[in-house]
Amino acid sequence: MKVYPTAGIRNIALVGHGGTGKTSLAEAMIFNTGATKRLGKVDDGNTVSDFNPEEIKRKITISASLVPCEYKDCKINLLDTPGYADFYFEVVGTMRVADSMLMLLSATAGVEVQTEIAWEDYPEVPKLAFINKMDRENADFLKVLNGMKEKFSDVIVPVQLPIGAEANFKGVVDLIKMKALFFEPGSGKITEGDIPEDMADDAETYKEALIEAAAEADDELLDKYLEGEPLSDTEILKGIKQAAVKGSAVFVFCGSAFNNMGITSLMDFIIECSPSPDQSKLSKEFAEQSGATAAQVFKTVADPYIGRLTMFKLFNGTLKADSVVYNINKEKEEKISQLLIMTGKEQASVPEINAGDIAAVAKLAVTSTGDVLTAKGNKIEIPVLEFPLPTLSMAIEPKSKLDEDKLSGALQKLMEEDPTIVVEKNVETKQTILRAMGDTHIEILIDKLSRKFGVEVISKEMRIPYRETIRATVEAEGKHKKQTGGHGQYGHVWIKFEPTEESNFVFEENVFGGAVPRNYFPAVEKGLLEAMEEGVLAGYPVTNLKATLYDGSYHSVDSSEMAFKMAAKLAYKKGLESAKPVLLEPIVNVEIEISDAYMGDIIGDLNTKRGRVQGMEPKGKKQIVKALVPLSEMARYTVDLKSITQGRGKFTMNFSHYEEVPAQNQDKIIEKARQNKEEKDK
């Protein structure tokens, strides 16, 4: 693949709901340029962009991939993105380097959830739309078009009208040329003809809307249009180009990606009218800040064989192989050995790339997703690449104890390539917690651990880190006395236990007359701290406890620190059992972003989860519901929210405080803890 100038590059992200045909469209486009000799099919598992075993197995796109194709002396960098909510973070990374967005919609399903979300999240990005699957049963172009106009405030303007539908779909009316284009299924070949007579009136009506959108993008053309003067084809095309670059109109195409129908005319429009990288807002910001080389990493691939592969877009300057760049995030120099152009999983080296192009480099030492690479001393401020926060937690453990160290390294590799997952070791529950975007995300991560790193793991429900405390003040005696052949053991204490809000643990001594010598006070405190690791109800750590040592006795020969530690533990157990012990549960702050339509259902669901709504506030067209909810009720909330809002809702949560567990719930938790202990002891 040759080196292209900035003006000859088009970076376009294929975005839309799962199943709209993004991968099939990419396959048809590269087939039409001769980059592949056969038209790959998702169902056959032989497409260029869906090459991961997990993608082939599930027949869905999981990871964004780059598929460049050379067409009419230009290079189109196609960025095929996932259409499922669990992998939306791949869209986020991709949109940092795309200069425009091609939204795919199904002619049978219309505007779907992930299409809506991406459209709303990137209002300033220039867009095209492709209504796919026109040859499928129940395909309805006008229904989808009207659905787009209803859902989105953008100017939605067809540049094509379908000729026929379902099994009779055979071509389109090109409203720019005012000609009929007839397709040969599979080959991508087009035959030009006259517009069918029964479509002539519709073609004129939609042509007028197209001319209006073109005129509105250019002041001179608009003045001419408003004065009633006709616009020439050249002027119309000029206005369309300006509208496409500015994003003031969304131009709509149609066809069948699976059967390669209507794809060539779409490619022609991308080359002629879509923005080149130097016309994008972020590229202009890079160029204004510095004339030096500047690139940003949008994706990292961790492979156990080839190591780390870093994918980036060069926003400014020229980058050559065997050069050195400076990572301003890590403040380290990095050596660029080979520059690689990725086509799916295939790699080809190039000597250099120009501003606007997308490439990869292997085995960088410290660089990770989001980092900016430039010349040392060059100061650039680029918006942080913010990915969604993981909302579903699952405990994982290796099937074999021998794989514990191996698991740690494998998880580190996964975190390098997936910026949304979080792994933490919970010291209280002794579990390794994997946080991800949803059930499917976690399933695929577990598959990757096995396939890529040879670590078999099992997933378990995350244990809730409950606490225990007391509600009454008691006094308790602890006496540890043991007589053996030599020195015996003797420790004797009286301790008052009471609840406190001052701290997790307060220890005081109020001993008179030397009943317990001062040198044993630390041993008593240490014994209590060790005992507090397990409560008397369900074995959870104890908190908000005040203990006052006020009496006891000792033996001049047999007393020791160990004996007083044991005596303190005995007093603790006896005292807490009679001090009205209770369970405490973690409460989290939850913020849920939804539209008004789901408000009633969300509040009703929060009530069933023992949640307390704290308030609501508007956020654009959405509402933010704020609530306090027990963590135990939020374990599957990612799944629940998707179900209630059809995938349109978002939420975040963070720890707030601990509260007493209601009596009706406490017995169940204690019983479950007992069962877990018995299972562990086995």
pLDDT at 534 exceeding the cut of 90: yes
Task: Map tokens 């994997």 to a residue.
Answer: 434
What would the mean pLDDT of 476-486 be, rounded to a whole number? 85
Classify residue 464 by its DSSP letter. P
Domain 292-374's class? mainly beta
At 635 the three-state DSSP class reads: coil
- Distance (Å, whole) CA 612 – CA 589: 10
pLDDT band of residue 404 (cuts 50, 70, 90) is confident
**What pLDDT, on a 0 to 100 scale, did the predictor assign at position 487?**
76
- Distance (Å, whole) CA 540 – CA 88: 37
What would the mean pLDDT of 338-348 be, rounded to a whole number? 92
- Distance (Å, whole) CA 455 – CA 386: 30
pLDDT band of residue 474 (cuts 50, 70, 90) is very high
**What pLDDT, on a 0 to 100 scale, did the predictor assign at position 304?**
67
- Distance (Å, whole) CA 539 – CA 88: 40
Show the CA angle centred on residue 68, arms to residues 67 and 72, nearest 5°: 145
Say which amino acid occupies 649: G
pLDDT at 189 exceeding the cut of 70: yes
What would the mean pLDDT of 591-607 be, rounded to a whole number? 95
- Distance (Å, whole) CA 592 – CA 653: 9
Parse the chain into domains and list their residue ranges: 6-279, 292-374, 392-460, 468-579, 584-665
- Range 392-460 has CATH code 3.30.70.870: yes
pLDDT band of residue 312 (cuts 50, 70, 90) is very high
List the CATH code of the domain at 468-579: 3.30.230.10
C-beta neighbour count of 559 within 10 angstroms: 25
Buried/exposed code over 477-488 (b: 16+ C-beta within 10 A; e: otherwise): ebbbeeeeeeee
In CATH terms, 6-279 corresponds, of 3.50.50.60, 1.10.1200.10, 2.40.50.1020, 3.40.50.300, to: 3.40.50.300
- The partner residues of 489 in beta bridges, in order of sequence, read 482
**What pLDDT, on a 0 to 100 scale, did the predictor assign at position 525?**
97
pLDDT band of residue 681 (cuts 50, 70, 90) is low
Q: Which two tokens stand for residue 461?
A: 């429900």
At 411 the three-state DSSP class reads: helix
**What pLDDT, on a 0 to 100 scale, did the predictor assign at position 240?**
96
pLDDT at 429 exceeding the cut of 90: no
3-state secondary structure 34-93: CCCCCCCCCCCCCCCCCCCHHHHHHCCCCCCEEEEEEECCEEEEEEECCCCHHHHHHHHH
**What pLDDT, on a 0 to 100 scale, did the predictor assign at position 290?**
64
pLDDT band of residue 163 (cuts 50, 70, 90) is very high
pLDDT at 251 exceeding the cut of 70: yes
What would the mean pLDDT of 623-647 be, rounded to a whole number? 94
Residues in the chain: 682
**What pLDDT, on a 0 to 100 scale, did the predictor assign at position 673?**
83
Q: Tell me if domain 392-460 and domain 584-665 are identical in fold.
A: yes
What would the mean pLDDT of 475-496 be, rounded to a whole number? 89
- The partner residues of 303 in beta bridges, in order of sequence, read 307
- Distance (Å, whole) CA 174 – CA 172: 6
What would the mean pLDDT of 445-462 be, rounded to a whole number? 92
Assigned architecture for domain 584-665:
2-Layer Sandwich (3.30)
pLDDT at 485 exceeding the cut of 70: no
Q: β-strand 392-398 against 339-343: which pairing, if any?
A: unpaired
pLDDT at 133 exceeding the cut of 80: yes
Contact 625, 616 (CB under 8 A): yes
What is the rounded average pLDDT for all residues in the chain?
93
Task: Map tokens 């001090």 to a residue.
Answer: 579
> Percent of the chain, pLDDT > 70?
98
Contact 27, 116 (CB under 8 A): no
